[in-house]
Amino acid sequence: MVHPSLGNAFFNNGDGSFKSGAYTSRSWDAGSGIGVSARVSTPIPGPQWQGASIQIGSVWNELKLPDWDRSTGSIP
């Protein structure tokens, strides 16, 4: 999406039950370090809790990732 003040933006529109977001299967050489620069904006649509995080890591089971349906349960 294009945000009026931020420009190009990622809008995940989560379902309210599971973590949602984006991932890559690409390998990154972190021998000299790795980082991210991000600007985060999140609406507060109601009285329910919400959370936002940015994570970099190799914590998922890449062998199970192709079988994940991406709509139920958390990322494997």
Provide the pLDDT confidence category of residue 15 given band limits of 50, 70 and 90: low
pLDDT of residue 14: 65
User: Is residue 65 within 8 Å of 57, Cβ to Cβ?
Assistant: no
pTM summary value:
0.54
The 10s digit of each residue's pLDDT in 19-57 is 667 777 778 888 898 888 888 877 777 777 777 788 887
